[in-house]
Chain A
Amino acid sequence: MAMNTQGRPSAPLHTPDPGAYDDTFSGSRGLDQAEPLIFERQTYDKTGVDFETPKGTKSRLGALERTEDLGLPGLSEPEAMRHYVRLSRKNYAIDIGLYPLGSCTMKHNPRLNEKMARLPGFSDVHPLQPQSTVQGAFELIGELAHWLMTLTNMPTVAMSPKAGAHGELCGMMAIRAALDARGESHRRRVLVPESAHGTNPATAVQCGFFCDEIPAGPDGRVDMEAFKAKLGDDVAAIMLTNPNTCGLFERDIRAIADAIHEAGGYFYCDGANFNAISGRVRPGDLGVDAMHFNLHKTYSTPHGGGGPGAGPTVLSEALAKFAPLPFVIKEGDSWRMVEDEADARAQGAQPFGRMVAFHGQMGMFTRAMSYMLSHGADGLKQASEDAVLNANYILARLKDVMTPSFDGLCMHEALFDDRFLKDTGVTTLDFAKAMIDEGYHPMTMYFPLVVHGAMLIEPTESESKASVDRFCDTLEALAHAAKAGETERFTAAPRFAPAKRLDETRAARQPVLRWTPAASEA
């Protein structure tokens, strides 16, 4: 028996009966604290922010001044700290463990980037300050643009899109503007592979296009014959993710680009999976006309629980002049932001419009720049190679216990389907929830739609071999357990998470989207 320095036994004296006292009086479970909503504390007369005392000047708002309270509770600083720290502990995060969400590129977020983004000269600067007082901000945008154009071998990049889907909108609007300028507004059909992200068809529709789906071939790639059969003089573009959402490089990408160009359309590339090839393959060499980056994927700006993203979009020579406002240009030694249409036209541009107030996600630009400078050309290439290596290693280690959807190698993510679970009574969802009990965030499930019960695993380059090995050991063990009939291990999962499975049907059928006093009393 282990003893501590006081001589008391430090190991449990007895093992309690399983099932006895599995509840607590407080609702907390050790380090997992029960935490009410801020509205349930009745702290309406409190504030955690001290200010100087107002002079009490009579307001000049007249009848527009509000007389009643809003009902917003306030918390002192210690209460606020505890509330948000307690809640944070109910979240999984990259810093806690491997986060194999396919297509999401959950890589390490270097803290240097956070520090750089918080330099007052970047974070505490107003977008409409006189341009002479923000030359450094323009320089940073210009420098990042240079890196993005060099990595893609493309002549222009629009920096203002706020996220990946916003970048898609930017690229597709540039395509629409180019078609209109050519007098070919009748081209409205956009070819979208069935494996595409949902944002692709949603974006196409927002640009006034309609979608025509291209089936995948048996090798998980675009079916060339089916694609060619769909070409015609009403085709505006193809939207293709490369590497695609099955984790495979489209081998025929040059032929696809040539064919769409020959048919008079443009090639939009969804850059969500650029982490597989960043620093190693340049989309400009593949015939791409437009591609958005997800700076929050490839260049590690933090996902932050769902955002903010940043989606700069590179454009080919054919689309460059339609790039949206605003954009920076260098004149002699100084930088200038071109903000209005007349100024842009004087520069020879024909912007399709402005997508946002101000100039884009500066806070994400500084983080991405810090990441890219840290890696350099050599490190970016190495990062892509390691990401692809890790994914292939997982594919190789698990191919005999799980079912890879396609033969051969993969790029930065490995796709499995649920054939290995056949007749076990365990679904992809159950398998994923059991991973939570094992201390892992599940992989992307049921996407892409081209295989049954998809499980898409993207380890990224941030994992060590030891980490990937432990992950594979765990998945192997789970696969064996499923096949051995340990069904309840899966159907009852997760058992060790802060919450059990949640009733999503109820949430959708009887939506409760905010706290109300009545609901609280009931």
Chain B
Amino acid sequence: MRYLPLTDADRAEMLEMIGVDSVDALFEDVPQTARLDGPVDLPRHKSEMEVERLLTQISRKNIAASEAPFFVGAGAYKHHIPSSVDHLIQRSEYLTSYTPYQPEISQGTLQTLFEFQTQVALLTGMEVANASMYDGSTACGEAVLMACRITKRRKAILSGNLHPHYAAATHTLAKYMDIEIKDDAAKPGGLDDIAADIPDDVACVVVQNPDVFGQVHDLEPIAKAAHEKGALLIAVFTEAVSLGLMKTPGAMGADIVVGEGQSIGVGLQFGGPHVGLFACRNDRNYIRNLPGRLAGETVDADGRRGFVLTLSTREQHIRRDKATSNICTNSGLMTLAWTIHMSLLGDTGLRTMAQLSHEKACELADRLSAISGVELVTDAFFNEFTLRLPKNAADVVEALAEKGVLGGVPASRLYPGKGYDDLLIVAATETNTDSDLDAFEAALKEVL
């Protein structure tokens, strides 16, 4: 077996040194009834060639985003990733290292985390950020729990235009924590009036921008209304590239900002691994209640600058049942991919990428909504918009796929049984060419 270095001669010699006569003796503590006679009922080992053949066959049953005019978004977006990103994250020193608990031999990972935290803070317009969460949806749930700890209140209000998977993940995380969560009704093309009636005992209001239908919002009035009631505003984004063109949530008054970082450096990955971004105010009460890892600056015994994981007294391996969260990993390698891509982009590249995505979406929205019977529901958007179709959107998406166009997400897939059967959520990015737009327009005309 190519991955196992011990030879039979080694094994015999080692057993002798240990003083037992067979490897079975090493498993003597296993109850007799649970000992298997032989290997489990699965196939025997395979060569590299065989595995490659088998998995390639399975992969070919999927249509890759790069194989078709592609306009699917709703929480994950296809953007260009420079080749150097994937090369760098496959360097052994990053790929095959553990959590940087031994800082003297982990400065590579620690410095990149410190740079990552700084970039996330700058991108969101916030003061500090952690070293990432599993993904945007779990970051959202953790932010709600954090807001409850900070305000010592037990209620949260979720905007109805928050991605339903984010709302569901938040409900799950809060389910047994004695936290009451209220969901506003969704309002495609607008926003539920979340600021109107915030009760005095609410810890936070959670608003996504651009929302799940693509509509963009001014968060400032919501922040103001929340703050008047002593509640926090948690701003959520699922498209990090939108921040290349839009006002930051920090500038609009958000207290905690969470989002999905997948569109920078990570790729689609069929939904995971992605990378959750988590930023907040630099206030002692906030920092003390932050979930997840933090890298911090310090000096070594020679006085040279170095970085360590810090404030671990919040974390489960120290505080156990009093920890801020049970989370024990970050999205390590994905934070690296994110930070490398962001370092290549800089302000200039990020703005261009965002501008191109916005322009393509605007052009596409104009062209598709000019088709008879099609109506644009979202009047202000970044790179994603919602159309009302004269037919069932799920059927239209299937029919488009048969014509070789991956044309968006039917809103009914995210909001089953809510009467959104005619709504289609469409995303465009800088990767879409003019001929992609032509193909989508032509196919939609044929299908309707």
List CB contacts (< 8 Å) of A15-51 with chain B. Answer: 35, 37-39, 43-49, 51
A396 to B16, CA, bound (A): 10
A518 to B362, CA, bound (A): 40
Q: Determine, out of A2-10, A223-231, A300-308, A415-423, the stretch whose residues face the partner at the interface.
A: A300-308
Identity of the chain A residue whose Cβ is nearest the Cβ of B98 in the assembled complex: A303
- Inter-chain contact A94/B45, CB cutoff 8 Å: no
Contacts of A93 in B (CB 8 A): 92-97
B94 to chain A, nearest CB (A): 6
List CB contacts (< 8 Å) of B81-95 with chain A. Answer: 82, 84, 86, 88-95
- Inter-chain contact B382/A61, CB cutoff 8 Å: yes
- A14 interface residue (CB < 8 Å to B): no
A284 to chain B, nearest CB (A): 9
A193 to chain B, nearest CB (A): 12
List CB contacts (< 8 Å) of B53-91 with chain A. Answer: 54-56, 58-67, 70, 72, 74-76, 78, 80, 82, 84, 86, 88-91
- Inter-chain contact A162/B34, CB cutoff 8 Å: no
A145-156 toward B: CB 8 Å interface, digit per residue (1/0)? 001001100000
- B297 interface residue (CB < 8 Å to A): yes
- A455 interface residue (CB < 8 Å to B): no
- Inter-chain contact B108/A307, CB cutoff 8 Å: no
Contacts of B331 in A (CB 8 A): 307-308
Known: A74-B346, A382-B4, A388-B26. A122 touches B112 (CB 8 A): no
Contacts of B96 in A (CB 8 A): 93-95, 106, 109, 302-303
- A436 interface residue (CB < 8 Å to B): yes
Contacts of A47 in B (CB 8 A): 344-346, 348-349, 352
A137 to B272, CA, bound (A): 12
- Inter-chain contact A65/B245, CB cutoff 8 Å: yes
- Inter-chain contact B104/A116, CB cutoff 8 Å: no
A211 to B176, CA, bound (A): 15
A270 to B244, CA, bound (A): 42
Partner pick for B330 among A306, A393, A465, A497, CB 8 A cutoff: A306
B229-252 toward A: CB 8 Å interface, digit per residue (1/0)? 000000000000001011110010
Identity of the chain A residue whose Cβ is nearest the Cβ of B24 in the assembled complex: A385
- Inter-chain contact A502/B104, CB cutoff 8 Å: yes
Partner pick for A72 among B3, B135, B307, B345, CB 8 A cutoff: B345
List CB contacts (< 8 Å) of B1-55 with chain A. Answer: 1-7, 10-11, 13-15, 17-20, 23, 25-31, 33-36, 39-46, 48, 50-52, 54-55
A410 to chain B, nearest CB (A): 9
List CB contacts (< 8 Å) of A502-522 with chain B. Answer: 502-504, 506-508, 511-515
- A488 interface residue (CB < 8 Å to B): no
- B440 interface residue (CB < 8 Å to A): no
A84 to B359, CA, bound (A): 33
Contacts of A143 in B (CB 8 A): 58
- Inter-chain contact A150/B293, CB cutoff 8 Å: no
- Inter-chain contact B74/A128, CB cutoff 8 Å: yes
Q: Determine, out of B187-195, B196-204, B334-342, the stretch whose residues face the partner at the interface.
A: B334-342
Contacts of A395 in B (CB 8 A): 18
Contacts of B448 in A (CB 8 A): none
A343 to B327, CA, bound (A): 30
A116-154 toward B: CB 8 Å interface, digit per residue (1/0)? 101111111111111011111101100100010011000
Identity of the chain B residue whose Cβ is nearest the Cβ of A515 in the assembled complex: B118
- Inter-chain contact A353/B172, CB cutoff 8 Å: yes
- A501 interface residue (CB < 8 Å to B): yes
- B369 interface residue (CB < 8 Å to A): no
A234-263 toward B: CB 8 Å interface, digit per residue (1/0)? 000000000000001111011000000000
- Inter-chain contact A369/B134, CB cutoff 8 Å: no
Known: A57-B362, A208-B178, A357-B75. A305 touches B97 (CB 8 A): yes
**Chain B, interface residues (CB within 8 Å), range:** 35 or more
A207 to B363, CA, bound (A): 48
- Inter-chain contact A388/B121, CB cutoff 8 Å: no
Contacts of A424 in B (CB 8 A): none
- B333 interface residue (CB < 8 Å to A): yes
Partner pick for B93 among A88, A378, A501, CB 8 A cutoff: A88
Contacts of A452 in B (CB 8 A): none
Partner pick for A357 among B46, B169, B332, B345, CB 8 A cutoff: B169
- Inter-chain contact A123/B172, CB cutoff 8 Å: no
- Inter-chain contact B42/A249, CB cutoff 8 Å: no
Q: Determine, out of A96-104, A315-323, A474-482, the stretch whose residues face the partner at the interface.
A: A96-104
- Inter-chain contact A87/B103, CB cutoff 8 Å: no
A285-300 toward B: CB 8 Å interface, digit per residue (1/0)? 1100000000000000
- A12 interface residue (CB < 8 Å to B): no
List CB contacts (< 8 Å) of B102-127 with chain A. Answer: 102-109, 111-112, 114-115, 117-119, 121-123, 125, 127
- Inter-chain contact B100/A306, CB cutoff 8 Å: yes
- Inter-chain contact A137/B109, CB cutoff 8 Å: no
- Inter-chain contact B76/A88, CB cutoff 8 Å: no
- Inter-chain contact B31/A286, CB cutoff 8 Å: yes
- B300 interface residue (CB < 8 Å to A): yes
Known: A59-B358, A125-B62, A353-B175. A396 touches B44 (CB 8 A): no
Contacts of B28 in A (CB 8 A): 409
Partner pick for B98 among A99, A375, A381, CB 8 A cutoff: A99
- Inter-chain contact A499/B107, CB cutoff 8 Å: yes
- Inter-chain contact A381/B176, CB cutoff 8 Å: no
- B419 interface residue (CB < 8 Å to A): no
- A1 interface residue (CB < 8 Å to B): no
Contacts of B61 in A (CB 8 A): 121, 135-136, 139
Identity of the chain B residue whose Cβ is nearest the Cβ of A45 in the assembled complex: B348
- A454 interface residue (CB < 8 Å to B): no
B139 to chain A, nearest CB (A): 10
Contacts of B330 in A (CB 8 A): 306-307
- A52 interface residue (CB < 8 Å to B): yes
- Inter-chain contact B272/A132, CB cutoff 8 Å: no
B281 to chain A, nearest CB (A): 12
Contacts of B382 in A (CB 8 A): 61
- Inter-chain contact A361/B75, CB cutoff 8 Å: no
Partner pick for B406 among A119, A129, A251, CB 8 A cutoff: A129
A376 to B46, CA, bound (A): 7
The 4 closest A-B pairs by CB, nearest first: A74-B346, A358-B271, A121-B59, A304-B333
Question: Can you list 20 A-B pairs with a CB-CB distance of less than 8 A?
Answer: A48-B349, A51-B352, A70-B122, A91-B109, A93-B96, A116-B52, A126-B271, A133-B401, A135-B61, A136-B58, A173-B176, A308-B272, A342-B416, A356-B134, A358-B165, A377-B39, A380-B39, A465-B14, A506-B299, A513-B114
